[in-house]
Amino acid sequence: MKLTNRLLLAVVIFTSLFTTAKGQEKPAIPINTAVENVQKYFSVYPVEKVHLHFDKPYYAVGDTLWFKTYLNTNLFNYDPSKIVYVDVINSRDSLMQTLRIPMQEGAGKGHLVLDPQFWSQDNYRFRAYSKWMMNFDMGYFFNKVVPIGDAINKKMGANITYQQEGNRTKATIQFRGPDGQALGRKKLNWEANDGWDAFDKGKAETDDLGRITINLSHKEKDKFKTGRLVVQLDEGQTGQYSLANAYQDVDIQFFPEGGDLISGVSKKVAFKAMESGGSSVPVKGKIIDSKKKEIATFEDLGMGMGSFTMIPVSGETYKAVVTLGNGIEKTVDLPAVVDDKINVVAVSQDNEFINLGLVTNDQYFSTIQNKPYYVFGQLNGHLIYAAQASIKSPAVSVRIPLKELPNGVVQITLMTPDGQPVSERLVFIQPQELIGIQVSTDKTDYARKDLVKMKLNLDTKVDSLPGNFSVAVIDESKVPYNDDNDKGIVSNMLVASDLKGYIEKPNYYFNPKNENRREALDALMLTQGFRRFEYKDLVSGRLPQVKFMPEQGITITGVLRQNTGRVQPNGGLLLNIPGAAIKKDAYTDNSGRYTFENLVFADSLKATLNARGNDNFRSLVITLDPTLFPEVDQANPNKAANIQNIDENLKAYLDNSKKEFRTHNLIEEVVVTATQEKKQTSKDFSALTGLSMPEHRIEGSRFNGCNVLSMCLNTMLTGITYDVNTQKYYITRNFNQGSRVPVQFFLNGMPIDEPSINSIQVANIEAIEIFMRDDLGTVRNLYNNDGVVSIITKKEKKQPRMTMAQIEAMLPKSNVIDFYPLGYVKERKFYEPKYTTAESKNTNDYRTTVYWNPDVRVDSKGEVNLEFFNADGTGKYKVVVEGNDLQGNVGRQIYYYNVK
């Protein structure tokens, strides 16, 4: 086993590279002390990275979404997190669902049923992280946008395009009905709002082809970023469309290698061109000086990035004349030329060394000659290089050995001895130690519903360490997708997980078909942000505080108090979760705290905490510690991956989804002899009819055992925050941004205030519906509220007289509490049909995911044999294999076979 080799490697490298030249100044903090302090951080604060492998790149309402969860860590002297959380966030930054995934040996699995009752067409961002990762910057969480189309509920489809013309944007929309026919000559109202107030609105009528054109003023262009265009036809159909792409201002930035344009020094200068939405823009252009003399030319390599070389002149200013892909020309200032800087630059990389240079000009060299500088190299949370350099010439060579180093992003930092960064360069070590994955099938061409025999040969590199792999097989004719756009385990674990911001086409840099991929990857290194820590703090010995430790299982904690407020030491509590057959007891410590550890149960199970076993149980009060989660990062740059026209982009998939849904839901005609009781919704109350579909609905059965309604609402209202100071409820995302406009509560369509909530009999609640938005303003304009919580009670029936026991059961009890803790995602197995008889083959099989296996394990030979049956689709079938091992090595392979 070689689990500790890389840790030892770091120590050997930096202790052997200390250099102290004669005659140089003595540093304020000796190199040994600096390295020791930095190593304290790297050895105590592990880096955890999470990756999700989905069976498909996109889905439709009604599908089941399958995924495999991978967790890599860079240290092996601690117990890594055993739980990963997956948040599903819609395009309006509403948290839809949080899944708790149990991990074993760095892997877990999950699924999400896209129930048509709760899910609608949208771009959903999947955010994954561990509690340990919550101690650090959210920019390093796993993020991926997964579009979900709708071929079931949607009453109206649309294709929208935006075209900027002067100080206005022309929005052209074509509407179609569920049958695909154009909705011609339909009158409608439209409104552009930012989720709160309308900043533009009007009326229109579609032409014969179902098209309308709306002119949007740029007067409120800042609101376009989060705004939506809401359209309502007179016949009742409603559509909402993001305005994020309605106004695009191209931002072009230039990044001198090492951070500065140093006069007299030849430097590589990288550039990046992006729209305000985050997508790249193709560019080319030239660099001119103050006399308009051409100094250099440039053109992007793809993704709006590239580089060029120039020698700046002291006192000169430079501009870039940039031509965008649409022919528009822009002039951008380059960073100012400096005379008094020293930078670290990458010279070359071979199989043995990364060759670097510390460069400055002659003028500044005379002032820093013989001064000490520190050069630190960090890779995946390991200090792989540390040296003290004495500046003996304007160009000093530095060589970092590559022997036994893993793949990934190396952060090279030049700093003063007190830890002040002077210059930085990111360098990617090209793949040398990826897990080898070979895929083969018994044939290259198959018929529909044929049996496929597939063999995987998996090389985990390190002493036959256990490996975890997942395999997805999809019908690419129904799920067309450019694999360069995907975020595979290699591109994510080795690059995206170490860089902040949105990375367009992450797999592009690892696709051998892209000849300029290495040059493009270096441009990415020069333009993307990286800042997991501050060297200044580490060198001086200041370590960050942590709030969360790596979770080893589900834990329920809290405090037991007396009704006087005093804590109750040595108090006994009984935890009962009937649905999981859990009965455990615990006793409080001297601070009144209790802990139930290593619990295993599925989500949505009712739990009860009981303190009645104590002698003074009538005077005891149980409190639960809140479960803390990260806020929704509304400005997340990964929104740039959102698809504007899902109907158009997912057309082949949605057409197939219609067939699949129709097949799966056709039943024989039956005669209904009983009347079905209509389920009440907020639409039944005139005051709330203007609201759209609720984001969440909580059925009354979830409140069984709830004694005090307000206490239960504090934990059960998804996306709602209760503020103890104002005793009001707020939309969480807006509350976190400083808004103090409260939610408005309604009881059967009548407005009520917060103190009235506890007067509602919990047993009479049929459902509670939560509306995060009020796009048409029907309620908001009347009550000046932000969001609606609609409480619906059961229709009154004649009730018998209540017994004393029933009355007593309604009284709130503080020594017995019921709650619904977040459990693990429920287990579910992917359906695999077997077509072994002529009769079984005589069925329609519209599946798009033909095979999904998240539990592929490697035997001693590294061979795995798999079998599955094809579906009815013909064309190319795409096989995607991803995986890791306990050392953190990763691998990915794509394979195709044909179905005729």
Side by side, which strands form the sheet with 445-446?
A: 445-446, 890-899, 875-885, 467-475, 849-857
Q: List the alpha helices (DSSP H) in 793-870.
A: 804-810, 838-841
- On the CB side of 245, CA atoms within 13 Å amount to 17
pLDDT of residue 431: 65
Beta bridge partners of 754: none
Res 195: pLDDT: 67
Question: Edge-to-edge strands of the sheet including 744-747?
Answer: 696-699, 765-771, 788-793, 744-747, 750-752
- Taking the alpha carbons at both ends of the chain, their separation in whole angstroms is 47
**Residue 686 — left, alpha, or beta (φ > 0 → left; ψ -120 to 50 → alpha)?**
alpha
Contact 451, 443 (CB under 8 A): no
pLDDT of residue 20: 43
Indicate the residue type of 241.
Y
Alpha carbon of 152 to those of 80, 240, 340: distances in Å?
42, 17, 65
User: What is the residue type of 685?
Assistant: F
Q: Which two tokens stand for residue 869?
A: 């049956």
Residue 140 has which token pair? 């390093």
pLDDT at 129: 97
Query: What's the token pair of residue 189?
Result: 């109202």
Percent of the chain, pLDDT > 90?
A: 57
The bridge status of strand 620-624 relative to strand 408-415 is unpaired
Low-confidence spans in the chain with pLDDT less than 50: 1-22, 665-675
Nearest-angstrom CA–CA distance, 509 and 524: 10
CB atoms within 10 A of CB 167: 9
Q: Give the number of other Cβ atoms within 10 Å of residue 841's Cβ.
A: 16
pTM recorded for the entire structure: 0.84
Our CA dihedral for 747, 752, 755, 758, rounded to 10 degrees, sits at -10
Q: Give burial (CB, 10 Å; 0-12/13-18/19+) of 386.
A: buried
Write phi, then psi, for 402 (nearest 5 degrees): -100, -5
Q: In whole angstroms, what separates CA 774 from the centre of its chain?
A: 26
DSSP type of residue 488: -
**Cα(789)–Cα(643) distance, rounded to whole angstroms?**
30
**58 and 653 in contact (C-beta within 8 Å)?**
yes
DSSP output for 117-172:
TT--SEEEEEEEE-TGGGGS-GGGSEEEEEEEE-SSS-S-EEEEEEEEETTEEEEE
65 CA to centre of own chain: 16
**Chain centroid to CA 843: how far?**
38
Q: Do residues 452 and 441 touch, judged by C-beta distance below 8 A?
A: yes
Q: What is the 3-state secondary structure (H, E, C) of 731-791?
A: EHHHHHCCCCCCCEEEECCEEECHHHHHHCCHHHEEEEEEECCCCCCCCHHHHCCCCEEEE
What pLDDT score was predicted for residue 666? 40
Query: How far apart, in whole angstroms, are the C-alpha atoms of residue 71 and residue 492?
Result: 12
Q: What is the pLDDT of residues 117-176, one digit of tens each?
A: 889 999 999 999 999 999 999 999 999 999 999 988 888 989 999 998 888 999 999 999
**DSSP label at residue 394:** S
Cβ contacts of 601 within 8 Å, gap of 6 or more: 554, 577, 579, 580, 582, 607, 821, 823, 824
**What pLDDT is attached to residue 735?**
80
The pLDDT value given to residue 477: 95
